[in-house]
């Protein structure tokens, strides 16, 4: 791809330090903003950029900002959601490890735009190494006059703090995150009121993902219109994709939205194909919560068009034959991966992470885990497959927060696309313990010659 926007300087040694980051154009966005832009100008640029929330929901960031209430005499807060816990997603940890100052610069610009005087980066507790990196970087930025009182003589004051979580996936949901930041259990709140009206300590609050906040920096440097020229249609700009599973080269890649999925998987510039010379069986394209798709459907839509890495193309076909871009957690499954086992693994995750507030999720995730466990271990019945679908339908849409949906979708989609593999686990319980089902009829439509073309 042409110039990267977030990871442009990722290879520069010591880019995590203030001096090196500054030497490579760092903190220019703050200078530009504080020396000639109003907060509303900044919001306007972000709106023009078309940036959509990079945490998973894809809601336009500029619009989210413009919802923020501004009552007299009340503090406003910006909280960065660095509670990255969605299985398959590890881009934020990467960004914080190698480019902490990009996040801090984005936080300062965004806090100015929203009129926040105190902002927090809520980092999941397991990322203590990243918390130490961020705290060091914040101290450096402060020493250089980019944080604290009267930043660059502009009269704008900002304090930035890092807050650790305690190991709970649910705190990635913004109202649970706010509860957790207040020192309570991470139980999602009933909305409305939305955080933009009543968030942290009942004050107007914006919660944004790490990558969204980092993207504000190139948006300000280049202008929102420039950013919107990148990408494809309403999926503007670039996106960090966390690639994992059975790939030749798993890792974090910055892609221009609109890249064909096929090219992302097979070209040497990105994942370099499937590991160990095997064939692709299925893909979870946007973190564990989004529907799993078999290889043929992830590479092409049902109308025969190439599937692209955009919000729109990945969701083409709805839940019947499409999926979602989500957080960009791209998990590839090779021909030997067991879909039933993986679905059980995900169901166990959601059962473990359900906060327990809503009965459909608390009970339903446990049921799904149990039923999938018995299917995987050869004690299942044919009726269990429809039972799973029934339970998943009863969770979906019946909970306060989206964790219920996130738990239901992987199960429902796995059965939708791989029902024969579930049935095989029932009809061949002994065999299922010894070998995997293989590719069956969702084979990789790419011929060997096409794969050779990509790996030239």
Partner 1 sequence: MLKLTENEKVKFSPALIAKFDAIISHRYPVGKLKAGLLPILHLVQAEYGWVSPEAMDQVADYLDIKPIEVYEVATFYTMFFLKPQGKYVLEVCRTGPCGLVGADKIMGHIEKTLGVKEGEVTSDGLFSWRGVECLAACGMAPVLQIGPEYTYYEHLTEEKIDQLIKDLKNK
Distance CA 354, CA 81 (A): 19
Of 5, 29, 141, 181, the one binding partner 1 by CB under 8 A: 181
Binding span for partner 1 by CB under 8 A among 57-65, 81-89, 206-214, 295-303: 81-89
Least distance between partner 1 and beta carbon 403 (Å): 13
State yes or no: residue 75 binds partner 1 (CB under 8 A): yes
Alpha helices in 381-447 (DSSP H): 382-395, 403-427, 429-434
Element of type H or E holding 32? helix 28-34
Cβ contact 67:190 at 8 Å? no
Least distance between partner 1 and beta carbon 63 (Å): 28
State yes or no: residue 185 binds partner 1 (CB under 8 A): yes
Of 71, 155, 183, 277, the one binding partner 1 by CB under 8 A: 183
State yes or no: residue 352 binds partner 1 (CB under 8 A): yes
Residue numbers 301-340 binding partner 1 by CB under 8 A: 329, 331, 333, 337
Residue numbers 5-34 binding partner 1 by CB under 8 A: none
Q: Which residue's structure tokens are 């480019």?
A: 99
64 vs 281, beta carbon nearer partner 1:
281
Give the tokens for residue 88: 């398959």
State yes or no: residue 67 binds partner 1 (CB under 8 A): no
Please report, for residues 32, 52, 84, 329, 405, the alpha-carbon distance to residue 170 in angstroms, rounded to integers and kept in the order given. Answer: 37, 21, 10, 17, 13
Distance CA 298, CA 253 (A): 18
Q: Which residue's structure tokens are 């023009």?
A: 48
State yes or no: residue 127 binds partner 1 (CB under 8 A): yes
89 vs 208, beta carbon nearer partner 1:
89
Give the tokens for residue 186: 């991470």
Give the tokens for residue 323: 């999926």
Q: How many CB atoms lie within 10 A of CB 452?
A: 11
DSSP string, 263-314: HHHHSTTTT-SBGGG--EEEEE-SSTTSPEEEHHHHHB-TTSPBPBSSHHHH
Number of residues near partner 1 (by CB under 8 A): 56
181 vs 196, beta carbon nearer partner 1:
181
167 vs 233, beta carbon nearer partner 1:
167
Of 119, 315, 342, 451, the one binding partner 1 by CB under 8 A: 342
State yes or no: residue 433 binds partner 1 (CB under 8 A): no
Report the SS3 class of residue 60: strand
13 vs 183, beta carbon nearer partner 1:
183
DSSP string, 163-219: EE--S-GGGGSHHHHHHHHTTS--PPPPSSSPTTTS-GGGS-EEEEEHHHHHHHHHH
Residue numbers 357-416 binding partner 1 by CB under 8 A: none
* Residue from 225, 137, 183, 405 nearest 146 by CA: 137
15 vs 79, beta carbon nearer partner 1:
79
State yes or no: residue 238 binds partner 1 (CB under 8 A): no
Binding span for partner 1 by CB under 8 A among 36-44, 85-93, 299-307, 390-398: 85-93
Element of type H or E holding 137? helix 128-143
Residue numbers of the site for partner 1 (CB under 8 A)? 75, 84-90, 92-93, 118, 124-129, 159, 161, 163-169, 180-186, 201, 242-246, 250-252, 284, 288, 329, 331, 333, 337, 341-342, 345-346, 349, 352-353, 355
């Amino acid at each position: 791809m042409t110039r990267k926007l977030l990871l442009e300087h990722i290879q520069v040694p010591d880019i995590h330090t203030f001096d090196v980051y500054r030497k490579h154009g760092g903190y220019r966005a703050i200078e530009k903003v504080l020396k000639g832009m109003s907060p509303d100008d900044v919001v306007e640029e972000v709106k023009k950029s078309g940036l959509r929330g990079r945490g998973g929901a894809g809601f336009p960031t500029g619009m989210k900002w413009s919802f923020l209430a501004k009552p007299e005499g009340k503090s406003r807060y910006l909280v960065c959601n660095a509670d990255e816990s969605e299985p398959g997603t590890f881009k934020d940890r990467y960004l914080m490890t190698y480019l902490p100052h990009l996040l801090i610069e984005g936080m300062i610009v965004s806090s100015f735009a929203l009129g926040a005087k105190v902002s927090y980066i809520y980092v999941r507790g397991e990322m203590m190494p990243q918390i130490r990196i961020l705290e060091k970087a914040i101290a450096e930025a402060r020493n250089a006059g980019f944080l604290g009182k009267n930043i660059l003589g502009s009269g704008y004051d900002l304090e930035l703090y890092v807050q650790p979580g305690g190991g709970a996936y649910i705190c990635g949901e913004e109202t649970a995150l706010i509860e957790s930041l207040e020192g309570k259990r991470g139980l999602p709140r009933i909305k409305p009121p939305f955080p933009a009206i009543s968030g942290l300590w009942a004050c107007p609050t914006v919660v944004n993902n790490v990558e969204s906040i980092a993207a504000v920096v190139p948006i300000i440097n280049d202008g929102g219109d420039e950013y919107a020229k990148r990408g494809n249609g309403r999926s503007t700009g670039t996106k960090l994709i966390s690639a994992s599973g059975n790939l030749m080269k798993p890792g974090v890649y910055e892609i221009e939205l609109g890249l064909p999925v096929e090219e992302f998987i097979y070209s040497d510039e990105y994942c370099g194909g499937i590991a160990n010379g095997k064939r692709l069986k299925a893909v979870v394209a946007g973190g564990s919560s989004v529907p799993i798709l078999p290889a043929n459907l992830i590479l092409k839509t049902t109308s025969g068009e190439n599937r692209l890495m955009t919000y729109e193309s990945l969701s083409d076909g709805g839940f019947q034959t499409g999926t979602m871009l989500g957080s960009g957690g791209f998990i590839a499954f090779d021909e030997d991966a067991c879909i039933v086992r993986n679905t059980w693994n995900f169901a166990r995750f959601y059962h473990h992470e359900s906060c327990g507030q809503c009965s459909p999720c608390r009970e339903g995730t446990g049921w799904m885990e149990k039923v999938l466990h018995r299917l995987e271990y050869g004690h299942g019945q044919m009726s269990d497959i429809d039972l799973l679908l029934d339970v998943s339908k009863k969770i979906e849409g019946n909970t306060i927060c989206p964790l219920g949906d996130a738990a239901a979708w992987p199960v429902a989609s796995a059965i939708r696309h791989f029902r024969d593999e579930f049935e095989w686990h029932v009809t061949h319980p002994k065999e299922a313990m010894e070998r995997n089902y293989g590719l069956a009829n969702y084979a990789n439509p790419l011929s060997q010659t096409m794969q050779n073309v990509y790996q030239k």
